[in-house]
Structure 1
Amino acid sequence: MSLLTVSDLTVTYPGRGWRKPAFTALHEVSLDVRAGETVGLVGESGSGKSTLGRAILGLAPVSGGSISYDGRDIAHVSQRVRRELARDIQVVFQDPLSSLSPSLTVGESLAEPLRVRRVSRSEADDRIREALDLVHLPADAVRRLPREFSGGQRQRIAIARALVLEPRLIVCDEPVSALDLTTQARVLDLFLDVQERTGVAYLFISHDLSVVRVMSHRVAVMRHGRIVEAGDAHAVTTSPTNPYTRQLLLAAPVADPAAQARRRADYEASRAMAPYSQETTR
């Protein structure tokens, strides 16, 4: 049984301004995430992948379809129920500073969600120590401010903050795209290590096929608010069948300059010979 099931989800935003038409960001999207697995969600900027993550978190309006968590429909629940769900469903954003108050120490930031749930001081301290250990940060980090850490370390703190509530699912919205390549690799290894040690499931949102290939068991590819291809991660990221996915793969950089030049030429040729229309991506 799936931990999270999204069925025929539609998200429509009302038009802004006089006579502005409504904008549909997601068109009948369906996917599922099983306990302990990672589903990668990949697509270009504006494809709707972050909107799907926001809808799951209750931050985007659901116009149609359903979102089921552990067999329970959560698409239209109250704010009180949403706060309760935060214990099981957490998020890691692209910019860790957006979820960390610059005026609070790391310990205070990690303790905040526990205090809201009336966790005792001693239990909160234990959970914070465990979370910092999971992300390989020293115990004295609790006394320091976010600005005293590097970008990669701040992302580790954001992950620790998501972990203190011991969630079953984490929505990861471009969590490594703002990091340099070396730091990216370390944070991705951290995500994998945390999953192995805790059994947490990830919905891993990224524009980079090479990242989701490393992270994911299964991959879904989005374009214009629709899933155009989905399946086993290795198959989708190495031998895609959809023209749009193939162009995403060809557009991804590789370390070898000669291979990159050939890939770029193949990418331009594929765009000229087989442009991905609406018909080819449905």
Structure 2
Amino acid sequence: MTAAPALLELHRVIVDYPVRGWRAPPFRALNQVSLTVGAGETVGLVGESGSGKTTLGRAILGLAPVTGGDIHFSGRSISGLGRRERRALSKDVQVVFQDPFTSLNPAMTVGDILTEPLLVTGSSRAVAERRVRDLLDKVHLPADAASRLPREFSGGQRQRVAIARALCRDPRLIVCDEPVSALDLSTQARVLDLFTEIQHLTGVAYLFVTHDLAVVRHISHRVAVMFRGEIVEAGDADTVTITPAHPYTQRLLLAAPVPDPVRQAARREQRHHFLAAQLAASS
């Protein structure tokens, strides 16, 4: 596969959070992280809770303080943008959050949720309503969904509404923060297929944040693995998720469940031996 031109570039990014206590050193959530996402590419960012992957996504969106390094989008530094510049950037950079139950305003209809960002940026109501019909079709929801409230939909359907909202202004990059982890397995598969279909239709790039190696293998072109605020392994999706080189990625792979009870028992035993060998090597 030919490398896509760089759309998003992170150069040795550091994020520190202050810690309570007299002269206590700050907590370093990200330590010298470098990463690129090409135009039309999906990069999976995988790691356990507390690894820093969500913080990285928040730093890109301007929701976490970048205390070192730099973030470039389309060749332009976006690390220190003011509120007005960040609002302008939102046309090109959008987000889909983890929980479809809390990311949508329960008091607004789906039509109002989707037309609001269009009306605020100067579209007429007629143009906005046509755009909403097109978005609902893209995410495979019926046209009458516009008149309904979020509570009338299932979790998977609400996430489709959240995806439609992210697509409103034709972004070039969507940060997907654990967008399928709150869904059951069959719904996960359908939503992942929808992400892939939308990428083929629009050419949008994804930074796909998740803790699940199986999910990133399904959707990603490349994968980066985070551990304690650093990227410890990165490369082609199949290579990283099937034959990983780093011990931490190997441990993640062995911890991932499989549907076959015999294979699962063998994997559990293999993980036990792997952890015992690591412990012996470190002692």
Q: Which TM bucket (shorter chain)?
A: over 0.9
Is the contact between residue 244 and residue 276 of structure 1 (CA under 8 Å) also seen in structure 2? no
Kindly provide the CA deviation profile for residues 145-203 of structure 1, in whole angstroms up to 9, marking residues without a partner as x: 00000000000000000011110100000000010001101111111111111111000
In 2, Cα distance between equivalents of 1:13 and 1:167 = 29
State which drifts further: 19-28 or 230-239. 19-28
**RMSD between aligned residues:** 1.4
2:146 to 142, 147, 156: 142
Q: What secondary structure is seen at the aligned counterpart in 1 of 2:101?
A: helix
In 1, Cα distance between equivalents of 2:21 and 2:106 = 35
Aligned to 2:237: 233
Specify the code of the residue in structure 1 equivalent to 2:102.
S
How far is the alpha carbon of 1:97 from its aligned partner? 2.9
Is the contact between residue 243 and residue 276 of structure 1 (CA under 8 Å) also seen in structure 2? no
How far is the alpha carbon of 1:19 from its aligned partner? 4.2
Q: 1:5 aligned to 2:26?
A: no
State which drifts further: 6-15 or 114-123. 114-123
Aligned to 1:181: 185
Q: What secondary structure is seen at the aligned counterpart in 2 of 1:77?
A: coil
Aligned to 1:35: 39
1:73 to 77, 87, 110: 77
The 5 A counterparts of 1:259-278 are 259-275=263-279
In 2, Cα distance between equivalents of 1:199 and 1:145 = 30
How far is the alpha carbon of 1:33 from its aligned partner? 0.4
How far is the alpha carbon of 1:15 from its aligned partner? 1.2
Specify the code of the residue in structure 2 equivalent to 1:27.
N
Kindly provide the CA deviation profile for residues 68-114 of structure 1, in whole angstroms up to 9, marking residues without a partner as x: 00000000011101000100000000002332100000000111111
Specify the code of the residue in structure 2 equivalent to 1:57.
L
2:28 to 13, 24, 29: 24
In 2, Cα distance between equivalents of 1:15 and 1:250 = 34
1:120 to 111, 117, 124: 124
How far is the alpha carbon of 1:119 from its aligned partner? 1.3
TM-score, length-scaled by structure 1: 0.96
Q: 1:210 aligned to 2:221?
A: no
Change (3 A) 1:120 1:231: same
Structure 2: runs of 5+ lacking an equivalent: none
In 1, Cα distance between equivalents of 2:32 and 2:25 = 19
How far is the alpha carbon of 1:274 from its aligned partner? 1.7
Kindly provide the CA deviation profile for residues 187-231 of structure 1, in whole angstroms up to 9, marking residues without a partner as x: 111111111111110000000000000010000000000000000
Q: What secondary structure is seen at the aligned counterpart in 2 of 1:202?
A: strand
In 1, Cα distance between equivalents of 2:120 and 2:42 = 29
Aligned to 1:100: 104
How far is the alpha carbon of 1:20 from its aligned partner? 3.8
Is the contact between residue 33 and residue 203 of structure 1 (CA under 8 Å) also seen in structure 2? yes
Aligned to 2:248: 244
Q: What secondary structure is seen at the aligned counterpart in 1 of 2:258?
A: coil
TM-score, length-scaled by structure 2: 0.96
Q: What secondary structure is seen at the aligned counterpart in 2 of 1:96?
A: coil
Q: Which runs of 4+ in 1 moved over 2 A?
A: 16-21
Aligned to 1:90: 94
How far is the alpha carbon of 1:129 from its aligned partner? 1.1
In 1, Cα distance between equivalents of 2:92 and 2:130 = 19
Q: What secondary structure is seen at the aligned counterpart in 2 of 1:66?
A: strand
Matched residues, number = 278
How far is the alpha carbon of 1:268 from its aligned partner? 1.4
Specify the code of the residue in structure 1 equivalent to 2:248.
Y
1:192 to 179, 185, 196: 196
Q: 1:153 aligned to 2:152?
A: no
Specify the code of the residue in structure 2 equivalent to 1:271.
L
